[in-house]
Amino acid sequence: MPVSDRLLPIPTPETQHFWDGAREGELRLQRCCDCAHVYFPPRPFCPKCAHREVEVFRASGRAALYSYVINHRPAPGLKPPFAIAVVQLEEGPRMMTNIVDCEQTPEALILDMPLQVRFADQSEEIRLPVFGPCNTKEKE
Amino acid sequence: MRCAVAIVGAAETTELGKLPGISQIQLHADAALNAMKDCGLTLSDIDGIATAGESPTNLAHYLGIVPTWADGTSVGGCSFMLHVRHATAAIEAGLCETVLITHGESGRSRVGRGEFAGNRASLQGQFELPFGPIGPPTLFTMPVLRFMKEYDIRIEEVAMVAVVQREWAAMNPRASFRDPIDVDAVLNSKMIAYPFRKLMCCLVTDGGGALILTSAERAKDFPTRPVYVAGSGESIETPMVSQMEDFTSSRAFRVAGERAFASAGISHADVDHLMIYDAFAHLPLFGLEDLGFVGRGESAKFIGERNTAPGGKLPLNTNGGGLSYMHSGMYGMYALQESVRQLRGTAPAQVEGAKISFCLGVGGMFGASGAVVLSNEVL
Ligand SMILES: [Zn+2]
């Protein structure tokens, strides 16, 4: 597989489950076993109540477009103009991502539009969670 | 204690702008030497140092200072506001007598500075950088579309921030950009990261600045008019803009601002002059709201109605700001310098009779904040 020119993540022991999940086509979040807080990015303790017992679960992958910019300058592994977005996950946390299968224009990118996660291959190890409009089929 | 410590020395580098003949550490030194000359001190008088961007170790060695107190707090462009706050506490506690705070940055020419290399194993490296952000223009701006939607703000109103600040810059001979602009000019400038055009983004220049602080008691013996530290505040939120609690408000601004007002014992009506770190045009909007000068969603209208413009009731970013004056990367020092000039009565666009200046800094992409209340009278 050709390796993407993007700045690819280097997983740590505390985040490995997330990247393993992405490789398997699952968006994984964590939930506190004490206060039920759902959070992101990954940590082996609850950032709300400091409880150490937390569980990893598969998120629905449903999200809404929370905010974005459309970058017009050169970026490694991406062709400008492209959107860098923050999505609001159904389970609560927000995450940065790209929006795919959608024109990268203000007219097409409407705040609060419903999105569904998909995974973009970058290397043997890394698939990035990206999001596309709900009404288009996932390319698989 | 309020006003127990004063700024007695303040200066910027001899030149600002494009300075390919000066390395970053020398920009620190040039500013430091100018600030010492400003208040008649020599290197052996300095027993405390604080800096960001360079390590205090590099600074002490380069200048030949023997510190008994050092602060290397480095949380982005507001680090110098935190240094003022920490130095004030250190002087009051008797840890040192005279503190030098320096900034120098070869932001444009990049002479003698390390290259930015994102840590791909950090949380930001794993969960933001893979999606293609290219520094502040694509990260700092991320909350803006949400902010605009939430409060029904038009891009023309955001552009107005840059227009008004250019009016202030026009009065300042040291400002990088002084020609008047209008909203059309801003909205026709090059697209950087939608909805941000070039004229809504800060400059990138080289320069530096330095401050010297000592006890209010000793400040009486200096040739300069003392500028007292009346109050201050600081806070941190997140290294990842995507994880901000609220895209329409900075928690760090709110926490630092509240503490600064409370410790100074002042209300909004007492503020004669305001600086809000403006790396991008939306920062004064967030700052005005988070400090409580206006209600939620009212900042764009407040600026549009010329309240912060020359002749307005709340003069804001009177040096022209990061959008028009200068911005080396860690702009906070220049905001503090302008507050000091206004309170000494030496600013190019002087606010008549200014007694209290409020100076708000930001670090990272809404990651940190420092706020300082300065006064030319003991409060
Ligand atoms: Zn919990």
ipTM: 0.95
B66 close contact with A: CB closer than 8 A? no
Task: Please give the pLDDT value at position B136.
Answer: 94
Does some domain include residue A6?
no
pLDDT, one tens digit per residue, over B140-173 is 999 999 999 999 999 999 999 999 999 999 999 9
Does some domain include residue A9?
no
Judge whether B109 and B96 are in contact, CB under 8 Å: no
Does some domain include residue A83?
yes
Average pLDDT per run of 10 along chain B, which is 379 residues long?
A: 94 96 96 98 97 96 97 98 98 98 95 78 96 95 98 98 98 96 98 98 96 97 96 98 98 98 98 98 98 98 98 98 95 98 98 98 97 97
Q: Which of B196, B226, B338, B232 is nearest to B276 (CA)?
A: B338
Task: Please give the pLDDT value at position B116.
Answer: 63
Domains and CATH numbers, chain B: 5-112+203-375 (3.40.47.10)
Judge whether B273 and B339 are in contact, CB under 8 Å: yes
Element holding B209 (H helix, E strand): strand B206-215
Does some domain include residue A44?
yes
A133 close contact with B: CB closer than 8 A? no
Judge whether B108 and B87 are in contact, CB under 8 Å: no
HEC string of A57-122 equals EECCCEEEEEEEEEECCCECCECCCEEEEEEEECCCCEEEEEECCCCCCCCCCCCCCEEEEEEEEC
Does some domain include residue A123?
yes
Peptide bond before residue B20 is cis, with ω within 30 degrees of 0: no
Judge whether B354 and B338 are in contact, CB under 8 Å: no
Nearest by CB to residue B126, choosing from A9, A78, A98, is: A9
Does some domain include residue A31?
yes
User: Within 13 A of A136's CA, how many CA atoms are on the CB side?
Assistant: 15
Task: Please give the pLDDT value at position B1.
Answer: 72
Structural domain for A114, as ranges:
16-134
Q: Which of B274, B261, B268 is nearest to B312 (CA)?
A: B274
Mutation for testing the B interface, residue in A67, A78, A103, A128 having most B CBs under 10 Å: A67
Q: Do A71 and B133 touch (CB under 8 A)?
A: yes
Domain count, chain A: 1
> Which residues of chain A are modeled with pLDDT < 70?
136-140
B95 close contact with A: CB closer than 8 A? no
A56 close contact with B: CB closer than 8 A? no
Relative to beta strand B273-276, strand B356-363 is: parallel
The DSSP output letter for B17 is: B
B116 close contact with A: CB closer than 8 A? no
d(CA B275, CA B122): 33
Does some domain include residue A91?
yes
Judge whether B292 and B277 are in contact, CB under 8 Å: no
Hey, what are B13's tokens? Answer: 């580098």
Q: Do A67 and B247 touch (CB under 8 A)?
A: yes
Task: Please give the pLDDT value at position A139.
Answer: 46
CA of A34 from ligand 1 middle (Å) equals: 5
CB atoms within 10 A of CB B190: 10
pLDDT, one tens digit per residue, over B225-277 is 999 999 999 999 999 999 999 999 999 999 999 999 999 999 999 999 999 99
d(CA A58, CA A38): 12
Does some domain include residue A63?
yes
Q: Is B68 exposed, middle or buried (0-12, 13-18, 19+ CB in 10 A)?
A: exposed
Judge whether B197 and B187 are in contact, CB under 8 Å: yes
CA of A42 from ligand 1 middle (Å) equals: 13
d(CA B213, CA B235): 22
| pTM score | 0.96
Mutation for testing the B interface, residue in A7, A43, A104 having most B CBs under 10 Å: A7
Mutation for testing the B interface, residue in A43, A69, A103 having most B CBs under 10 Å: A69
